[in-house]
Structures are given as structure tokens and as C-alpha cells.
Amino acid sequence: MSDTAVSPSPAAARPVALVTGGRQGIGRAIVEALATAGFDVAFTARTVDAQSDAIVDVIAARGGRGLAIASDLAALDEHAGVVARVADAFGRIDCLVNNAGIGSPVRGDLLDLAPEHFDRVIAVNLRGTLFFTQAVARWMLDHPPTDGMARNLITVSSVSAAMASPERGDYCVSKAGLAMVNQLFALRLAQSGIGVFELRPGIIRTEMTSGVAGKYDALIAGGLVPQGRWGEGDDIGSIVAALAGGGFAFASGSVIQADGGLSIQRL
């Protein structure tokens, strides 16, 4: 595990968000939206490089401090160190955004799903997220806020938590598991003042979906998404920033569909 230096301290204190998988795609959009909304932001990535440093610079340009930490979400023994690194650098953690995840290593017939592919997806998307959330929740409970700042745990899952795609069985199972993880933490933390939310993106234009862009272009043109367009990273970032601000405190445990109407049942 390694990290970049924290960018210069702003003049006024800001809440602190920790985003997993913040180097690209939806994660980067979330990091930038939170910085715009007034947060200092730490984010993890498998690799910290010039691209990560550029995101830290964006955070600084928006008035905050940024920190990029190299870490593998599947490596449970790294979790405590990541949480401690963020707490040491910023002195607080007000919001966790669980965004890191991987797609199905191989799309294909469910009857051909390989155990090693299933295990890898579960290790990152479900097992890693559950125990990283546990580590952050423990830190939050051990360090009660003294200034009334809102605290939230936000998990970015997928419409695949409830919409089945047999050619991506490992991915769907991991996201369905995250839906239960969200409910469990919402109940466990209900009296702590920590909000817990699940955000389910639909078809979002990212590096992960670039390989099947042609397929989804045709499906969207055919009416699959009622709003008639791809989702963009900024669509997700703006929702996360709104949740992180604390305005939905009494809605803890809620699921937010961010899919342009994709998951609405139709006749």
C-alpha cells in the first residue's frame, strides 16, 4: 500500500469523504463531485500514478485536500491501514463511498461459470466492500463527531442487484449481496446518526462498459432506457454528493435507482 501526498490545506475545515475505486469512471466523477460540494477527498485505487495525482490536483483546484491511496479492496489486511491513513491525514472521516468493483471476468452461459471467476468477483465486490465498510463504521463509532457534521455510508451497487443477467451471474450475485449489506448496516447504525444508502446505477458510460457500447447503443435506441440516453459519471456523482451532504438523514436504508427509468416495470 502506498499513497500520494495530501495537497495543501484549505483555509477552512471541510468534511472528509473516502471513496473506493476513485481513479477513473464513476469513481472519479464521484470524487470530483464531492470536492465541488465542499469535501476533502481521499480515494483508493489499485494503482497510484500520474492519473491519480491529476485528480488530487482537481480536488485542490476546487478548494480541498486530496489523497490517493494504492490498495486492493480484496486484500482485507490492508483495510485498517487505509482507514488509519485517511484519519491521520485529515483527522476525520465523515463519508464513505463504496464504489470499487469489477465486472465479470468472462461473460457467457451461466452453466459455464467458473468458480475462480465467481470467487474473484465476490472477493472484491462483496467481501471486500462488506469488511471495508465494517472498518470505517468502527472508526466512526469510535470517533463521534463534535461539530454536528453529517456522517454517511453510501454503496454504489447496480441495477443488477435486482435485474438478472444470466451471462454475468457472478456480478449479479455480488451486487444482490451488496443490497443486503446495505440493509444490515442501516439497521446496525440506525441509532448512531450514520446514514446508510445504496445507489443502483443503470447503463453508465465508463471504461467498464466501453467494450459493449455498441450493444447498449442499440438497446437504448430501441427503448430499453425510458430517458433515451446513457447515464454519465456526473449523473452518479451529483446523487452521491447530495446524499453525502446529510439532507436525507431520515431516509437511511433507502435504495436510489439511478438508471433513467430502466428498472421500472413496464407492460
- Taking the C-alpha atoms of residue 92 and residue 73, their distance in angstroms, rounded to an integer, is 21
Contacts of 26 (CB under 8 A, 6+ apart): 99, 156, 201, 204, 206, 233, 236, 237
Which of the residues 7, 157, 158, 160 is marked catalytic?
157
Annotation says 157 is catalytic: yes
Which of the residues 71, 104, 175, 252 is marked catalytic?
175
Pick from 85, 20, 28: which is nearest to 206 by CA? 28
Annotation says 175 is catalytic: yes
Contact present, 122 and 174 (Cβ < 8 Å): yes
Which of the residues 160, 171, 174, 252 is marked catalytic?
171
CA distances from 235 to 31, 51, 96, 201 (A): 13, 22, 18, 9
Distance of CA 57 to the CA centre of its chain: 21
- Strands, E, within 119-228: which ranges? 151-156, 194-201
3-state SS, residue 32: helix
Active-site residues: which are they? 157, 171, 175
